[in-house]
Structure formats: structure tokens, C-alpha cells
Chain A
Amino acid sequence: MRAINVSSVLRELYARRTTALGTTIFLLFLFVAMFAPLFAPYGLNEQIYSDARQAPSTAHWFGTDQLGRDVFSRVLLGAKDILTLAGLGTALAVASGTLFGLAAGYWGGTFDEILMRIFDGLLAIPALLLALLLLGTLGASRNSILIVIVLLYTPIVARVVRSVVLGVRSKGFVEAARLQGEPTGRILFREILPSVVPTLTVEAALRFSYAIFLVASLGFLGVGVQPPSPNWGLMVNEARPHVSQLPWTMYYPAGAIAIVVIGVNLMADGIKRIVRT
């Protein structure tokens, strides 16, 4: 299996226009998430009463909200919240999904059967409903949102990984490793995992875009985040009563959600193409 080289991957991503666009968007948001506190013109809850309710201008690029907070700064500072929650959640879900998928695919049998039925059960419940149920039970906090993402996406990742493992399991090199008496852990992670990685990368990118959407949706519903957090979903919710008068307080955070989700999706699409070729 070929090794993964970051610069070659980037080169391939930038070979197609749409993928290049998606990747650029993603990297831009990533940059904002990491460094926004350094260049955001105002604090996330900084209120300049005399500037309240102003339309976008050179002083406030995205305008100000009803409390005189700079929407541009809040949108910038909100990137970190959503991208870290979604990123961390996705990483954990991919890790646990991979473990379950490898195990289920490799051993098969009753273990596989039981695990898959449990996952089927989880998948049968609509994502947002399950999220609300879990948050209602666990109590709404950032940690519970992480748990929710992991519980929602582990089954999906596990199924994808398992399907690849099933295809690889009977291949010659795996058989050879087994006959050589290699320990199971080594077979799973050294022999099988590399075959899973390309599919897994696509899956992780897709999961990431859904996770962003989920975190924003939960923020919109007001669970797990508290004001004055600049979570984009919460910002959209808070802008709801003001939409006819201060429409910019809704458009910019909503636009940010849309753009980052589209960007990550385009990038995932590109990764899929690269992996398939």
C-alpha cells in the first residue's frame, strides 16, 4: 500500500478547481479558528452601546447586534468553537469506529452480528432526535456534545471500515501474515489498516462536515452552548427575533456555517476522487 505524503496529497487536491476551492475554504477557516483572537477587532462579548444595531460598515464589517457587539469578530471567534468540537468529535468517532470496524470485520461471527445489530439500532434513530435525547439525559455541555458525536458517528464509521476489512481479510497478504503466525494486533494494524486508510480518510472528511452541521444545529436549538458563546448556530437562533431589522446578525453566522460545510464537502469529494484513482 502506498504511503501518504502530505505535500503530494495537497498537490492532488489543488489539481481540480472545485477541490482546490473546498480545500482553500477549509484551510482558511482552520486558520481563523486558530488565530482569530489575535486579529479579531473586538472581543466576543464586547459591547459598544453607542454602536448597537448598526448595519455593516467599514467600522463594523458585518454590522453590530442589538447589544452593540461586532458581528464580524463574533463570527471569527466562533470558528474555533465549532471546528474544535466537530473536529475532536470526528477524530474520536473515527478512532472508535475504526477499532470496532476492524474487530467486527476481522473476527466476524456472533461478535460481528451482535455489534452490527446494535449499530443498526443506533442508526435507526434520526440523528438530531438521538442527539437531543442524549443531551437531555447527559445534561447539556461541551463534553456531552462530544459524546453525542462519537455515539452518532461510530456506527457509521465502523460499518464502512468493516466493509473494507471484509474485502481485504481473505487477500493473500493477510493469509500469509496469519500463516506466518503474526500476532492479531499486528495483522489488524499493520496489514489490514493501511488498506482501510483511503476509505477512512474520505469517511472522516464527510463525518467532519456533518459534525460541523450537527454542532451548529444543536447550537441553534440552544442545547449544549450558553450565551454569549459565538457558536454560529446559537448566533442564528439569537438573531431570530431581529431578522427583519438586523438581518446581518443572522446572515453572516448562517453564511459561515454554509460555507464551511460546503468547503469541507468539496474537499471530501476531492479526497474521494484521489483515493479512487
Chain B
Amino acid sequence: MSLLGTTFHDKRFGLAVIISLLLGLAACGGGGPAQQMTNTPSGNESAEIQTGAEEASETQSGRGGTLRVAMQPVVNIDPIAISSDSEVLVANHVYDYLIDIDHLSNPVPRLATGWDISDDGLTYTLPLAEDVTWHDGSEFSAADVVWTFERLRTTEGAPTFDLYSNIASIEATGDLEVTFKLTKPNPFFLYDLSDNHALILKAGTTDADTNFNGTGPFVVTNYRPEERIEMVANENYFIPEQPKLSGLQIIFFNDDTVAVEALRGGQIDFTMRMSVALFESLKEEPGIITMDIPTNGFDLIRLRSDRAPGNDPRVIQALKLATDREAIFNVVQQGYGALGNDSPIGPLYDAYHDETAIPPARDVEAARALLADAGYGDGLKITLHTPDTGNRPDLAAVLKEQWSEVGVDVEISVEPESVYYADDGWLEVDLGITGWGSRPYPQFYLDVMLVSDAIWNESHFSDEEFDSLAAVAGTTLDEKERIQAYADIQHLLIERGPIIIPYYFAQFGAINDQFQGLNLKAFAGRTDFRTVTFSGN
């Protein structure tokens, strides 16, 4: 009988050894899953597609190479419903925007060849590009644009429903011309026209959630959910000699570490969105070019201000005084990006960013005194919720240490991103860290995150003065007035905003050095592969 026990133990020990090996493998960055990727049946198919594309490239001068991009899996493919970087990235190569945002955050023509704005700021007339065809061969016209924007602004529950509520009418004022009329001036309307969802669909499309019929630079040949999307160059793309690649593959990875290992191992050519540590680890890697750009994105530490303890302004002040932003920037971000000033209007916004708006330096004694005044002289215990992505767990660990010195006892709760955002939990918790992606203009953050009735007002901030300043900034056509309003907003948020923004992060990318001409964009999903060229063999 005891013999039975022994053999059982031996098996269990074997299992333990296997688990330990697996643990070791995963710890080494999970070469395993990446290796599997090449063994899947689609490996052969993708090779075929690549060959086909190369044959085609012989007829088209200079076109060649297939770029394999690692991205998080795509859930939504209908442009009206997309939100993640990977979803936007896919749509951005199948469809076209009317107006694009370049890597310096300026609006540039795409399907619209330019724009004419009336003096009262209420009428926008956009001429459209000629010789544009849909992937199914039919011709593109102004009617498609009108249909698309009608869909975006009338579909209830769509993210664009509110955004475009200011549009009075959209008309086709010619075969290749559309005119937008607004109810009130919107200085950022060109940016709104380039909203992530505003990709032009063919009029009458009903199957955008299962099919890809765009005008864009690449044509989808194969979509395997949870695995990859394969595309070939659109031979009839309306911009001559674009795209310069003959093929594009978006390969889905759930884990940044694994994607980076796949890049090292040559199973993919390009990846974005990684932690500082992973990016640093790629810098010395031969055959790989790393790139980083500053962005307007940030990690937001926010305290609910409509109930205890955050409803006491002294608590907000104390936490701000307890935080050493510079240390956080240097240790958590290793100096990539820019130092934060507790407002979403970062230094990349040039004139809108006020360099004199600097939060007071760390002052442990003052913070202790404020907490004591607020009735927390014996200490304040609070749970800090944070997603497990990026450098947020590190940020949480640093905050715990810094705040412990003023008597705030932080209990960290690191949650998978899906749990953090599930059931709007992130809007409910008292203390949380939320990552906010980069946007080309700052008004977005104020309108969705900080005004009293904002849909994602996670700090439950409600301040009359702030609301009126935000309204002025968002509607005035006087640039000076807007700059002043933004400056006032920054000082106000430093003084009493229930938020701490310790840094604006950098966007990281790493690409195989056989590819050239890639410009990273602050919003990773809007990175554009049309001008990327391949010089390898």
C-alpha cells in the first residue's frame, strides 16, 4: 500500500519538475508560444501570400516585403465600434480617414484633399480625392462620406454620437465634395473629423463587422480571429506608389514580453506598446532599430472627490504634497517621456501648456499636517487599484513607499486590465491608476474626464470654475483666449484637482532594420505603414 503512495509521489514530483520547467520558460520570456506560431498551418499559407505579393511586386516598381506586426488581439472590426490600438491599426490600413493626423499631431489631407473653413467657423467644405475605388472595384464618391458620418452621428450608443452632436448637417455639395455645417464653432473640428472611428465606409454597408471593404492601402486576404490578419497591397490605391510594402500581417500577441521575444527571434518585424524595461532590453539588440517619441498620454492617479476621504480638499492636497513626481519620472519611466504637472495638458501641446504651472515640491511635514487637520492624524488606510499593464504596478509600489512617509497606508490591488475596467469598476473605486492614451488636442481629456458631466469622470470632479473654463477653451475661436483658459485650468488642477499626473509617457517601437521609413505616432494604433519600405531580401 505504501508502494502506491510512493509511485504517486514520484509522479507528482515529475509534475512539479515539468511545472518548474514551464515556469522557467515563461520566465525567460516565453519563447515557447512564439515558436509555436511558426508551426501553425497558416505558416505555409502566409508564405504563399508573400510569394504572390512578390510576384506582383515585379510589375510594380519598388514595392516589396511583408511587414509582420505584433499587436493585441482584435475584437471589433467595424470602425464604429473599434477602440483598442490594434483595432484602430487594422482599420487604418483597410479604410481611409478624410483627414489624417501626422506624427507631429497636425491635421493633414487624406481622402479629403484639403479644407475650407468659413469665417464664422460654422461651415467646413472638403474637396475629395479623385480616382478612389473600393476594394470591391466600385467607385468612391461624396455619398459614401455623407452616409458614413450620418451613421457615426445617429447611431445611439456609438462613441461618436456625442462627439458629432454639434454637426447640423452633412451634404454632398458635388460628386467629390462634402460640406459640414456646425451648430456652434468648434476649433478642433478637423481633429474631430479624424476621430479614430471616422473611417469612411461604402454607402449602405451592412457587414462591416464581418467584412473588410475599404478604400485603404491594404486589402485583407485572410482573417483568423485570435491569430492574425493578412493583407496585401491595394494595387489601385489612390495615392501613387503607396503602399510601398507588398504585404502586411497583424499577428496577435496577448503578452508584450512574448511579442518582444518574437521580434528578437525574427518571427515578427515590428512591435509597439511595451514597458520601459522591455524597450531598454531591445536597445543593444543587433538587427533591431528602437524608436521612442514623447506623447501626450499619461498615467492618472485619481482620487474620488465625492465621498470620504477624497471629498476633503486637504486630503487631495496632502497626497499631492506627499508625491515626488521627479523621482517617479526618473525611476518608473527612466526619464522617457516628460515630467507631469497634474494636468492633462502636457508640454507637447506647445502654447497650450503653461510652463509656469508647476506643482509644489514634495513636503512631507506639510502633508502630515494637512492630513492631521483633516482628521487622519493617526493615518489613512486606502486601497490603490491599478491595471497590471505598462509600468503601473511599479508606479503603485513607489507611491506606497512615498505616501507611507506621511502616514498613508496604501494597499495595492493589481488587477488584469479586463478586471480593472470591467463593470465600470474603474469609475467607482476611491483610488486608482488609469492609463490615458495620447490625443492630438487637450480638450478631449477635459470633456470626457474632468467636466462635471463627463462620461469618464473617474475622479467625480465637479467644479464650476473648471467647467466654465473648459467650455470657453472648447468653443472660442480666439486663440489667445483659449491659451489663457488652458493656463488657468492647469493652475486650478494643480491647486485642487483630485488627480496626480506624475509623467507623460513615451511611445516605444522596435523594428527589424530591413524596414525603413516608419514614423511612430503618439497614439500607437494610428501608426501608418503606407510609407514603410523594405530593403532586405
Contacts and interface: CB of A to CB of B under 8 A. Distances in A.
Given A163-B1, A226-B414, A242 B277 contact: yes
Contact of B29 (A206, A213, A240): A240
B37 to A, nearest CB: 20
Interface residues of A, number: 44
Given A163-B4, A220-B23, A47 B398 contact: yes
B1 A238 contact: no
Interface in A13-59: 45-47, 49, 52
A52 B332 CA distance: 10
Interface stretch (B5-13, B115-123, B198-206, B448-456): B5-13
Contacts of B393: 227, 238
B257 interface: yes
B2 A67 contact: no
Contacts of A238: 393
B186 to A, nearest CB: 42
Nearest to A45: B401
B19 to A, nearest CB: 6
Contacts of B331: 47, 49, 52, 66-68
A199 B280 contact: no
Interface in B112-135: none
Contact of B278 (A128, A222, A241): A241
Contacts of B9: 206
A126 B15 CA distance: 9
Interface string A196-227: 00010001001000100100010010100011
Contacts, number: 98
A242 B394 CA distance: 12
Interface string A147-175: 00000000010011001101100000000
B106 interface: no
Interface-central residue, B23, B332, B404, by most chain A CB under 10 Å: B23
B397 interface: yes
Contact of B397 (A227, A239, A258): A227
Contacts of A199: 2, 5
A227 B275 CA distance: 17
Given A52-B331, A66-B331, A228 B19 contact: no
Interface in A113-148: 126-128
A45 B400 contact: yes
B397 A67 contact: yes
Contacts of A226: 411-414
Contacts of B396: 227
Interface in A213-260: 213, 217, 220, 222, 226-228, 236-245, 250, 254, 258
Given A159-B5, A163-B4, A163-B5, A228 B27 contact: no
A66 B277 contact: yes
B467 interface: no
B392 to A, nearest CB: 10
12 contacts: A47-B401, A49-B327, A52-B331, A66-B277, A68-B331, A217-B19, A217-B23, A228-B397, A241-B257, A241-B275, A245-B281, A258-B20
Interface of A: 45-47, 49, 52, 66-68, 126-128, 156, 159-160, 163-164, 166-167, 199, 203, 206, 210, 213, 217, 220, 222, 226-228, 236-245, 250, 254, 258, 261, 265
Given A199-B2, A203-B5, 8 more contacts: A49-B331, A66-B277, A67-B397, A167-B1, A199-B5, A227-B397, A243-B29, A244-B281
